[in-house]
Structure 1
Amino acid sequence: MPANLTPQYLEAEQRYREAQTLQEKLSALKEMLATIPKHKGTEKLQADIKRRIARLKDELEKKKKQKRGFTLYVEREGAGQVTLVGGPNVGKSQLLTAVTHATPEVADYPFTTRVPQPGMMTYQDVQIQLVDLPPICAEYMESWVPGLIRNADAVLLLFDLSASDPLEQIENVREQLYQRKIKLIAQSPAESQSLSIAHKRTLLVGNKVDLPEAMENLKIVNELYSRTFPFLAISAKTGEGLEMLKEMVFRLLNIVRVYSKPPGHKAEFDRPFILKKGSNLLDFAKAVHKDFAEKLKFARVWGAEKFDGQRINRDYILMDGDVIELHI
């Protein structure tokens, strides 16, 4: 029986291959086990994943007892996890405070952030986890920072638009991460790219656009990077650009929201299912219930580009905002 592995499983498997720490590997394996289709054709693969999870747990326990090394891990929440990276004093903590309910320490001196600070940002009907990290610079970087970036879904690279060196800020962060086998990119990587390097979809965010010095730098950065990365200018202090930031972060995650409509009932708009772009009807059926994919007779869709209640095939590619009625 073919395995019919889902996009979510394949993405977790890719994250496992790229993982550099035991905790990252364990997190990816758990996600692989949670997203693998449960049928006879995957029984051996499920057993192998469980064995690897057990071995990693033993290794982690031994390391704890030996008190060797130091690492930090942020449990994933919401529709996706996005890390905030940048040099000292670019306003990462201020941005986290402005768009979430988190309360990190915010100060005008560098290296205020010493540990990861997560917060949940609301975009329409979904929650996205932002994680503020300590500064990245050539002089010093916390050893556990690359692991958190590697394990995240995407990156916001913040820089100070009012500073005299915004281009240097951007390139310093890119270079420091690349030295640690993390490449910041605009689009999802091609399959042929090296598995030893973690490719992270990135949004460039120029902060402090409210300051007079920022306007000239804004033109320069836009001219040099607009074809390389998506770019947005904001002010975490005044709130300028923050609503657009939320929308761009959602797009950066490459996900779609799909709503269930039980036959004979209204659509459940209060609880969207979050799936990767490119997922099909069978992926949605599995997300609703592990047995629905095999039992599915047919389905209907309501969406912007479809006739209301149009009947769809099992390989129908889901669109953001689709309402799906499954008939079992």
Structure 2
Amino acid sequence: MLNTGNIVEEMARTQKNKATEYHLGLLKAKLARYRAQLLEPATKSSGGGTGFDVQKSGDARVALIGFPSVGKSTLLNKCTHTVSEAAAYEFTTLTAIPGVLEYQGARIQLLDLPGIVEGASQGRGRGRQVVSTAKTADLILIMLDATKSDEQRRLLEIELDAVGIRLNKRKPDVVFKRKTTGGITLNTTVKLTKTDEKTIRSILASYKLHNCDVMIREDITTDEFIDVLIGTRKYLPCLYVYNKIDAISLEQVDKLAHQTHTVVISCEAGLNLDYLIKRIWDELGLVKVYTKKRGAHPDLDDPVCLRKGATIEDICNGIHRSLAPNFRYALVWGRSSKFSPHAQKVGLNHQLQDEDVVSIFTK
């Protein structure tokens, strides 16, 4: 097994200053490469054990992650029509249990993942499976115990970061293209203050990338550049959900509630659960689109839920795969219509907005 521990120790021993930046950059690149090999083995082992490849269903998937006994199963039971075994002892949930949260006509899959343990990124516990399933989510809910220290949050963030899940961050503005010849072309449109060209070139060499074009358009760190090279990083929105607020003081609740990307709840007392569901909906950024048959009223009971920025082509694919190939035109009423409140005749590339009504005409 590859020893990531030695590299981590060497990085901890190395004093951070201008002279050691280059050396640290190479160590970080090596560590990222080893971790990628640990979590994504080249050959897939077959059979054995209970996997938790849960089929993705509904309009979006939300992964519940947290240490054992923080109340994930109770939340799932309260918000969905699922019975996930909850108990006062640790490690009750051993396989991923999906539940469906219905909100504003959308079906959101809530996935209760087994309690993450420290060292999941090294494949300890059921870490690898938990992580690969979390990567398929559209939103991560990190569930925390409000009665415990913030160390729990820090440990989970470290674990998720180590496996390539970047919380509440966007992809670095870097364009990277491999070539067959011509060496390395490195261009920057901004001054680099957190890394330098020498470090970037040495990281490219350590990944055996000797022919490529790199265009850096923001002041990135060495870590962010490594993320771009690895290319399997997931940038996911995350809500920190503090449970058991009925067991702490009002001052503490107020302090937690004012942190960014944070919701405070009590599953047992049923406090603030409606607000949590609304925040989940807002974070997912879904739009509801209603369909209308010719000569009929729009079907307001069964919206099609799509991502923000979805097009007519997306709604065609969402209804039936035969629609897009036979598409003639669509009529759209609502915010995205240029002639609102009247309909606009549009093509497949037209972007839809929340609560639009669409009529599709085929050949």
Structure 2 distance, partners of 1:287, 1:113, is 33
With 123-132 and 238-247 compared, the bigger mean Cα shift is at: 238-247
Structure 2 distance, partners of 1:217, 1:81, is 31
User: What is the aligned counterpart of 2:350 among 311, 316, 326?
Assistant: 316
Q: CA offsets per residue over residues 110-141 of structure 1, 9 Å max, x none? A: 22222211111111212111111122232664
Q: Give, in angstroms, the shift of residue 84 of structure 1.
A: 0.5
Is 2:74 the partner of 1:94? yes
Q: Counterpart of 1:105?
A: 85
Letter in 2 for 1:283: D
Q: Counterpart of 2:215?
A: none
Structure 1: runs of 5+ lacking an equivalent: 1-16, 23-58
Q: CA offsets per residue over residues 184-240 of structure 1, 9 Å max, x none? A: 22x6545646323222221111112222x15333343345x41xxx22111111222
Superposition RMSD in Å: 2.8
Structure 2 distance, partners of 1:207, 1:174, is 17
Q: Is the 8 A contact 1:208 1:214 kept in 2?
A: no
Q: CA offsets per residue over residues 167-192 of structure 1, 9 Å max, x none? A: 2121111111212222222x654564
Structure 1 distance, partners of 2:244, 2:148, is 13
Q: Counterpart of 2:240?
A: 204
Q: Counterpart of 1:39?
A: none
* Structural mapping, 1:208-287, within 5 Å: 208-211=244-247, 213-223=248-258, 225-226=259-260, 230-287=261-318
Q: Counterpart of 1:74?
A: 54
Letter in 2 for 1:203: L
Q: Is the 8 A contact 1:137 1:172 kept in 2?
A: no
TM-score normalised to structure 1 length: 0.71
Distance 1:191 1:285, change over 3 A: farther
Is 2:142 the partner of 1:168? no
Q: CA offsets per residue over residues 137-156 of structure 1, 9 Å max, x none? A: 32664232111111222211
Q: Counterpart of 1:45?
A: none
Distance 1:287 1:142, change over 3 A: closer
Q: Counterpart of 2:331?
A: 300
Q: CA offsets per residue over residues 270-328 of structure 1, 9 Å max, x none? A: 33222221112233234334454455444332325752332143343211211112234
Query: How many residue pairs are counted as aligned between the two chains?
Result: 263
Q: Counterpart of 2:166?
A: 183
Q: Counterpart of 2:130?
A: 145
Q: Is the 8 A contact 2:64 2:140 kept in 1?
A: yes
Q: Is the 8 A contact 1:146 1:180 kept in 2?
A: yes
TM-score normalised to structure 2 length: 0.65
Q: Counterpart of 2:97?
A: 117
Q: Give, in angstroms, the shift of residue 255 of structure 1.
A: 2.3
Distance 1:290 1:119, change over 3 A: closer
Structure 2 distance, partners of 1:164, 1:173, is 14
Give the structure with the higher percent helix: 1
Structure exhibiting the larger radius of gyration computed from Cα positions: 2
Q: Counterpart of 1:34?
A: none
Distance 1:174 1:312, change over 3 A: farther
Q: Counterpart of 1:156?
A: 141
Percentage identity across paired residues of the two chains? 29
Q: Counterpart of 2:28?
A: none
Q: Counterpart of 2:213?
A: none
Distance 1:309 1:295, change over 3 A: farther
Q: Is the 8 A contact 2:336 2:352 kept in 1?
A: no
Q: Is the 8 A contact 2:170 2:235 kept in 1?
A: yes
Letter in 2 for 1:264: G
Q: CA offsets per residue over residues 12-53 of structure 1, 9 Å max, x none? A: xxxxx9xx669xxxxxxxxxxxxxxxxxxxxxxxxxxxxxxx
Structure 2: runs of 5+ lacking an equivalent: 1-35, 175-226
